[in-house]
């Protein structure tokens, strides 16, 4: 029995019109639209809901203003759902109801976030990905690596929150749902995955000295490093503002590109994270700039010039020609 991953997230936002354009430019498909709610879908059926701040029935927020209000985790079967229901039945805000015609359970985690579980509605997808030729292995033969003119996110891969107590909150996810420690910043940050075998983290919890609670970012998985770049360049051309990236995380090995999000926090394209098994031994890191990013472009790349922001665009045919 283990949680499979994120099935759905729900934002509360104050400008649905801007969010409609934002998430469509991001590469999501708009599945339904009402005056107080937008529902988008990733390639594998993972849903992103953006609701109006004053929509009735929304869970309370961890912080004021636009932010993430709810994370719905998918499980494999009704039997798993029943076992998790028993595990959280005495936790604050326990609910056992129905959503979109199926059972959904949940509670409030120690940080004030609405946590929900349901039998997963995501579906398997087969996509072509760019293979990387290295000195030892050359799987890409007689084939050029892909160039993407936009991104099509496969799913919501992980969420990151500022928490008031990282020990208490990480213990909650471990004890109730079987989440496993991947790596940590001692007494500061916990990288956790849903199951012993899986990507480096599905959840990252970060405790700031101020004790602030809230959303840091939501990360969307794309095919490969080339889609991180292609998606980010497209999003930049659409006029959305980079927070940081592109770059590479040394802790998870993933390539990233972060943008500011009108629905709250930041949003990330990422690819090529480490895959772990039960044999993995969690490591400890002291947080710092070079731990967060091996390298990164501050302010992003200009989608038109394909150079750093405010850098002069290419003029010659050969870009390595001596200036």
Percent of the chain with pLDDT over 70: 96
pLDDT at residue 162 above 90?
A: yes
Evaluated on CA atoms 244, 246, 248, 249, the torsion sign reads: positive
Residue 60 CA to residue 70 CA, distance in Å, equals 9
Q: What is the pLDDT of residue 310?
A: 72
Mean pLDDT of 95-114: 96
Tell me: pLDDT of 313 over 60.
Answer: no
Helix (H), strand (E) at residue 31:
strand 29-34
How far is it, in rounded angstroms, from Cα 74 to Cα 156?
A: 12
Joined together, the tokens standing for residue 175 give 């004890």
d(CA 200, CA 142): 32
What DSSP state is assigned to residue 301?
Answer: B
| Residue tagged 């919890």 (tokens) | 205
Is residue 303 over pLDDT 60?
yes
Q: Which domains does the chain have, with CATH numbers?
A: 5-123+148-296 (3.10.180.10)
Name the token pair of 169.
């909150």
* Confidence band, pLDDT 50/70/90 cuts, at residue 288: confident
The mean pLDDT value for 295-306 works out to: 91
Confidence band, pLDDT 50/70/90 cuts, at residue 287 = confident
Q: Give 314-317's long-range contacts (Cβ < 8 A, gap of 24+).
A: none
Residue 318 pLDDT grade (very low, low, confident, very high; cuts 50, 70, 90): very low
Q: Do 42 and 82 meet the contact criterion of CB atoms below 8 Å apart?
A: no
Q: What is the pTM of this model?
A: 0.95
Answer for the pair 37, 54: CB distance below 8 angstroms, yes or no.
Answer: no
How is residue 111 written in tokens? Answer: 């940080």
Label the pairing between strands 266-271 and 214-221: parallel
Q: Which two tokens stand for residue 82?
A: 């029943």
């Amino acid at each position: 029995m283990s949680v499979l991953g994120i099935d759905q997230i729900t934002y509360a936002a104050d400008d649905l019109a801007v969010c409609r354009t934002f998430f469509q430019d991001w590469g999501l498909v708009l599945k339904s639209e009402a005056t107080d709610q937008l529902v988008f879908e990733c390639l594998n059926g993972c849903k992103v809901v953006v609701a109006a701040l004053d929509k009735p029935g929304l869970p309370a927020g961890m912080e004021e203003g636009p932010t993430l209000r709810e994370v719905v985790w998918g499980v494999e079967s009704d039997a798993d759902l029943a076992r998790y229901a028993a595990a959280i039945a005495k936790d604050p805000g326990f609910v056992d109801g129905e959503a979109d015609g199926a059972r959904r359970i949940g509670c409030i985690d120690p940080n004030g976030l609405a946590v929900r579980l349901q039998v997963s509605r995501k579906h398997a997808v087969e996509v072509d990905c760019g293979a990387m030729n290295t000195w030892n292995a050359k799987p890409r033969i007689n084939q050029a690596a892909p160039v993407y003119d936009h991104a099509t996110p496969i799913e919501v891969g992980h969420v990151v929150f500022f928490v008031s107590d990282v020990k208490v909150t990480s213990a909650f996810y471990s004890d109730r749902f079987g989440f496993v420690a991947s790596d940590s910043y001692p007494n500061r940050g916990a990288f956790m995955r849903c199951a012993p075998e899986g990507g480096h983290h599905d959840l990252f919890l970060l405790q700031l000295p101020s004790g602030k609670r809230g959303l840091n970012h939501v990360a969307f998985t794309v095919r490969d490093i080339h889609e991180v770049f292609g998606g980010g360049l497209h999003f930049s051309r659409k006029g959305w503002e980079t927070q940081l990236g592109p770059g590479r995380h040394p802790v998870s090995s993933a390539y990233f590109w972060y943008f500011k999000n009108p629905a709250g926090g930041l949003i990330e394209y990422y690819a090529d994270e480490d895959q772990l098994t039960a044999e993995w031994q969690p490591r400890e890191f002291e947080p710092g700039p070079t731990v967060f990013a091996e390298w990164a472009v501050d302010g992003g790349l200009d989608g038109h010039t394909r150079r750093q922001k405010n850098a002069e665009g290419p003029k010659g045919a050969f870009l390595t020609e001596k200036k």
